[in-house]
A and B are shown apart, each in its own frame.
Chain A
Amino acid sequence: MGMKKHNFFMTHKVFCIFGILAILLILMAVFAPVVTGGVDPTTGNLRDALLPPGPEHIFGTDKMGRDIFARVIYGARVSLVAAFSVVGISFGIGSLLGVISGYFRGAVDAVIMRLADMMLSFPGLVLAMAVAGILGAAIHNAVLAVAVVTWPKYARLARSLVLKIRDRDYVAAAVTTGSKHGYMLVRYMLPNALPTLIITAATDIGSLMLELAALSFLGFGAVPPTPEWGLMLSEGRAYMQSAPWLMIFPGLAILVTVIIFNMLGDGLRDILDPRQEG
C-alpha cells in the first residue's frame, strides 16, 4: 500500500502538482486576513490613491487608496466560492434531471429536455445578463444566473450517458429481478454517469469563474466595494494607461486561478478516464 501511494504522485504528476496549487489557493482565500497581514480590503486612505507597486503596497493601490494586494487576496474568496457554487448547483440539478430524463424517457424526458433546450437556445452570457438584470446586481444573483444557463449541459450529458446503458442486459436483468426505480437510479444509472460528469465539472470551474468575472465586469455581479476580480478589472479600466497595475494584478489572479483549475480538471480526467489520454 505504501508503495502504491508513492507511485501515485509519480504517475499522476499533473494532477498532484495542480491539486497542491489549488489547495494553496483555497487556503490563501480562507486565511486571507493572515496573508494580507490584517490589511482591510475595503477601506483606504485617499492620500494613498493610485500608488504604484512598492514596498508599502506591493501591488499598488487603487483610486480610493485601497491596497490591491489585499483586494486580490480577498477577491479569491468571492471568486472561488461563487465558482464552486455555480458548479455545485448546475452539477447537482443537471445530473439529477439528466439521469431521470434518460432513465424514464417518454414524457418526463421530453419536458426536461425541452426545458434544457430553451436555456441552450440563448447565448449563455446574454441570458445570464438578463437573469442577473432581473434579479438585481449581486454576486449570489450572478451565481444563480450562470447556474441557470449551465445546468442543461450537465443534464444533456447525464442523459446521454444513461441512454447509452439503459438497454444493456444487466439493466434489464436488474429490473426483471425486481429492483425499484430509486435503486436503479442510484446504483446503476448514476455510477455509470458520474466519472464523466465529475471530469466535466472539474474542467468547468475555470471557465465558469471567467463567466462570473465577466458578469461582474459588466456590472451584473459583485457590487462595490466587494473585492472581486472582475469588478476590479472594470474599476481599473479608466486608469489603464496611467495606473496599469489596477488591471494587471486582478487579471493575473484570474489567469492563474483559471489555469490551475483547468489543469487540475485535465489531470483528473487522465485518472478517471484514461481512454482520452494524449
Chain B
Amino acid sequence: MAMLEVNNITVSYGNDPAVRNFSMTLEEGKICSLVGESGSGKTTVIRAIFGLLPGGGKVTAGDIYFEGNHLLTYDKKQWRKIRGTEMSMIFQDTGAMMNPTRKVGAAYAEYIRTHEKISGAEAARKGIAMLERMRLPSGDNVMQSYPFQLSGGMRQRVGIAMGMTYQPKLLLADEPTSALDVTTQAQIVRQMMELKENYGTSIILVTHNLGIAAYMADHIIVMKDGVIEDQGDRNHILYHSENAYTHKLLDAVPSIGGTRYV
C-alpha cells in the first residue's frame, strides 16, 4: 500500500462541491505537485488531507488513507498526534500563522514542548539547531526576533524548520514560495529538494507555478474547476501532453529573452 492514498474524494463547502472525484497516491520519498489556477481546488485537496478544511468544508465522498489509517475517522486528539510529527504543512505565508506578539523562539519552543517532554532550554537548543539546518544563519538571533522583524524568506524558512522538526513522512506545502522573490524562491525550492534527498520526506506541493512543479515533482496533477484535468510525470506534462489546458498553462510560464526555463 502506498504511503498516502486518496480515493475519489469529493469536498464540499455547504452544498457546492469544490473538488470532485479526486484521487491520488504518493509513495515514500516522492514529490507530487498540484498545479492549476486560483480556485481550482488545489488548496482544498491538501487541506482535506491535513484535516484542516476551513469552516463548513467537508469530505462528502471517498476515503483518505495515510499509512493504512483511515484519516477521515480521526478525532481532534488523533489529529493533534500526527500533525507536526507524522505529517506537517507549510503555508503560503508562515508569518500569518505566527502570533505577532510573541517571539519566534517562544512559539517554536512551545511547539516542540507540546510534542515531547523536554525543558524550555533544551527545546530552544533543538529549535536553533533545526533553524541552522534549514540554512538560517544565527538561529539564536532568529529565535529572539518577532515575526515581523524577519524577512518573508526567513519566516518561510522558519515555517519549514518547524514543519521538519520531527522529520514527518509527509510534508504538505501550500504555495510555499509564491509570496517570495525569485532568488528566495530558488533557495526554498532547493531546500525542499534536500529534504526529500536527505530525509526521504514525501512532499505534496501546491503551486500555480508550473516551472517549480516541473523542476521538483515526480508526478504532476493539473487541476481545473475542482477536477483533475491532466496528470503524469514531468516529461509527459511538459512535452507529450495533448491536453489543451495544460498547453495553456505552459504558455503562461513567463519567458526571459525568448527562452523558457521550464
Contacts and interface: CB of A to CB of B under 8 A. Distances in A.
Interface of A: 168-170, 173-174, 176-178, 187-188, 191-192
A169 B99 contact: no
A129 B71 CA distance: 63
Nearest to A188: B99
B220 to A, nearest CB: 28
B80 A177 contact: yes
B77 to A, nearest CB: 8
B262 interface: no
Contacts of B186: none
Nearest to A165: B100
Interface stretch (B2-10, B90-98, B225-233, B235-243): B90-98
Contacts of A173: 97
A173 B111 CA distance: 11
15 contacts: A169-B91, A170-B96, A170-B97, A170-B99, A170-B100, A173-B97, A174-B99, A176-B52, A177-B80, A177-B111, A178-B80, A187-B99, A187-B102, A188-B101, A192-B101
Main secondary structure of the interface of B (DSSP, over half): loop
B76 interface: yes
A173 B91 CA distance: 11
B73 interface: no
B198 interface: no
Contacts of B102: 187, 191
A187 B110 CA distance: 12
B156 to A, nearest CB: 14
Given A169-B96, A187-B99, A187-B102, A177 B52 contact: no
B114 interface: yes
Interface of B: 52, 76, 80, 83-84, 91, 93, 96-102, 111, 114
Nearest to A167: B55
B76 A170 contact: no
A12 B98 CA distance: 30
B91 A191 contact: no
B114 A177 contact: yes
B50 to A, nearest CB: 10
Nearest to B101: A191
Contacts of A177: 80, 83-84, 111, 114
A192 B111 CA distance: 20
Most buried by A among B80, B83, B93, B99: B99
A19 to B, nearest CB: 24
Contacts, number: 30
A172 to B, nearest CB: 8
A129 B102 CA distance: 44
B71 to A, nearest CB: 15
Contacts of B99: 170, 174, 187-188, 191
In the A-B complex, the 8 residue pairs with the smallest Cβ-Cβ separation, listed nearest first, are: A191-B101, A169-B96, A170-B97, A173-B97, A170-B99, A169-B97, A170-B98, A178-B80
B52 A168 contact: no
Contacts of B96: 168-170
Given A170-B99, A178-B80, A192-B100, 12 more contacts: A169-B96, A169-B97, A170-B96, A170-B97, A170-B100, A177-B83, A177-B114, A188-B101, A191-B99, A191-B101, A191-B102, A192-B101
A191 B111 CA distance: 19
A168 B97 CA distance: 8
Contacts of A188: 99, 101
Nearest to B89: A173
A177 B96 CA distance: 15
Contacts of B98: 170
B99 to A, nearest CB: 5
Contacts of B76: 178
A94 B241 CA distance: 64
Contacts of A176: 52
A168 B54 CA distance: 12
A84 B100 CA distance: 30
Contacts of B93: 169
A207 B95 CA distance: 39
B92 to A, nearest CB: 10
A164 to B, nearest CB: 12
B10 to A, nearest CB: 23
Most buried by A among B52, B93, B100: B100
A36 B102 CA distance: 48
Contacts of A187: 99, 102
Most buried by A among B76, B96, B101: B101
A191 B100 CA distance: 9
Nearest to A193: B101
B26 to A, nearest CB: 23
